[in-house]
Amino acid sequence: MKTAIPPANFVDLLLDAVCVVDRDGYVRYVSAASERVFGYQPHEMVGRRILDFVHPADKGKTRQAVNEILQGELKPNFENRYVRKDGSIAHIMWSARWSEEEQIRVAVARDVTERRRSEAMQAAMYAISEAANSPANLPAMYQRIHKVVDDLLVAPGFMDALAEPNGEALNIPDTEKDRELLEFVRVQVAAAVERKQMHSQLEFMANYDQLTGLPNRRLFMDRIHKALERAARDECNLAVLYLDLNNFKEVNDAYGHSAGDEVLRVMAERLAQCVRAADTVGRLGGDEFIVLLDTIAQSDDAFSVAEKVRASLSEPYELSMASLTLIPSIGIAVYPEHGKEPETLICHADGAMYRVKKGER
């Protein structure tokens, strides 16, 4: 029975490429599908070493697989990558065996690039989503997403920067095939930035005074607990200053609460300038402020700082409606002389402040 198609052309109808390679690795025959699979026409591959087309990173494992095939092993599902003529990367699944009689390696190459890309895209999207929803800070999140995208998109392309006002930027290769990933990254990063900014805002509100920006009672207590642990471990001193402004209520009564708020903001700025970066200035409420002097050499250091604070806070407050002079009352407690617990030290400093205030009156 005659066939309608010459037998010699049957192989050229296959979507997979059939390759014949000799013992030295030279291509002796490749079917017409080579152009679809490898990006080269048959005549461009015949006579050349098959390894010349293999991705540089995969040549090592490819040589090992070839040696195993030459020893008689079957390779039904070996995968490696090839560099096409246009520079793109092809993921190839091979089914190959060695013919000892003919001294040739016969193999069928199937292009699985789209399948692998689809799998990689799904894995990348999952990893990006996981990174965007992690508790890590924004720079760490950007780094994780960079790693995912770099692993997925190996070919260089145009760069599209996703940047925030803080200067952090995420560069994504923007090619036609990568639009889906790019858009997914945009959405995930935007949601993550918004979520982390909201979290930062809530965290700030929970730990800082909204008027002055100073640590509130909650954060101050956390810091004094840690400072006392260090002081006990290192056998050093620390001090607490408790202070307010005499006659501050009269400022609110005479000029309004906006004037009082302006005084408190200036007071906070002056206090911060009187202490070291390692110290903590906090606002407890109203015009009551508290200062933690962490690791001082001796008790006299606390009194020196208190005098510095007194002089600074006694300078006139130049408001839009008046120039006011307010004198602070400052109480001091030193660890371990006046106590070893946060509440004990704060209570002692508070009592000392009121004794000073009463004496001044």
CATH number of the domain encompassing residue 311: 3.30.70.270
**Helix residue ranges, H only, the chain:** 34-37, 42-45, 59-70, 113-132, 138-152, 179-207, 217-234, 248-255, 257-274, 299-313, 342-360
Token representation of residue 108: 């069928």
- Judge if 272 and 345 occupy the same domain: yes
In angstroms, the CA 204 to CA 210 distance is: 9
Please indicate, yes or no, whether residues 243 and 158 belong to a single structural domain of this protein: no
Token pair recorded at residue 144:
């994780």
Same domain as 336, residue 245 = yes
Residue 57 within any structural domain of the chain: yes
Determine contact, residues 83/89, Cβ cutoff 8 Å.
yes
Within this chain, do residues 70 and 40 fall inside the same structural domain, yes or no? yes
Using the 3D structure, point to which of 184, 207, 230 is the last residue of a domain: 207
Q: How many domains, the chain?
A: 3
Cα separation of the two ends of the chain: 124
CB atoms within 10 A of CB 253: 11
Are both 101 and 127 inside the same structural domain? no
| Shared domain check, 356 and 272 | yes
Give the DSSP letter of residue 33: T
Tokens of 3: 């066939």
Edge-first strand order for the sheet with 328-335 is 280-285, 288-296, 237-245, 328-335
The CATH number for 103's domain is 3.30.450.20
**Residue 4 in domain:** no
Q: Are 208 and 214 in contact (CB under 8 A)?
A: yes
pLDDT confidence of residue 177: 57
Whether 212 is covered by a domain: the verdict is no
Amino acid identity of residue 314, one-letter, is S
* Same domain, residue pair 315 and 239: yes
Looking at residue 125, its pLDDT comes to 78
Is residue 199 situated within a structural domain? Answer: yes
Asked, as a colleague might, if the bond just before 336 is cis with ω within 30 of 0, I would say yes
* One domain for residues 62 and 24: yes
How far apart are the C-alpha atoms of 214 and 120, rounded to whole Å?
48
CA gap 295, 236 in Å, rounded: 6
> Looking at 111, 126, 143, which one is the last position of a domain?
111
pLDDT digits (tens, 9 = 90+) for 190-233: 887 788 788 888 888 899 999 999 999 999 999 999 999 999 99
Which residue, 164, 153, 166, is CA-closest to 191? 164
- The boundaries of the domain holding residue 249 are 217-360
Residue 5 lies in a domain: no
| Domain presence at residue 326 | yes
Residues 82, 162, single domain; the answer is: no
Pairing label, strands 169-173, 159-163: antiparallel
Asked if residue 301 belongs to a domain, the reply is yes
Residue 195, C-beta contacts closer than 8 angstroms, at least 6 positions apart: none
pLDDT value, residue 175: 55
Residues 92 and 179 in one domain: no
Phi, psi of 236 (to 5 degrees): -125, 175
192 touches 198 (CB < 8 A)? no
Angle of CA points 183, 188, 191, to nearest 5°: 125
Asked, for residue 98, whether it belongs to a domain, the answer is: yes
Pair type for strands 237-245 and 288-296: antiparallel
The strand pair at 104-111 and 89-99 is best described as antiparallel
Residue 184 sits in the same domain as residue 62:
no
Q: Rounded to whole angstroms, how far apart are CA atoms 71 and 65?
A: 10
Mean pLDDT in each 10-residue stretch from start to end of the chain (361 residues)? Answer: 54 90 94 94 95 95 93 90 93 93 93 87 80 75 77 45 45 57 76 81 89 95 96 94 95 93 96 95 95 93 96 94 94 96 96 88 45
Which 3 state secondary structure label does DSSP give 325?
coil
Query: With the C-alpha atoms ordered 43, 110, 65, 67, is the resulting torsion angle positive or negative?
Result: negative
Alpha-carbon span 21 to 45, nearest angstrom: 11
Is the domain of 179 the same as that of 155?
yes
Q: Which 8-state DSSP code applies to residue 215?
A: B
Please identify, among 173, 207, 241, the residue that sits at the C-terminal boundary of a domain: 207
CA 240/CA 227 separation, integer angstroms: 11
Tens-place pLDDT, residues 308-349:
999 999 999 998 888 999 999 999 999 999 999 999 999 999
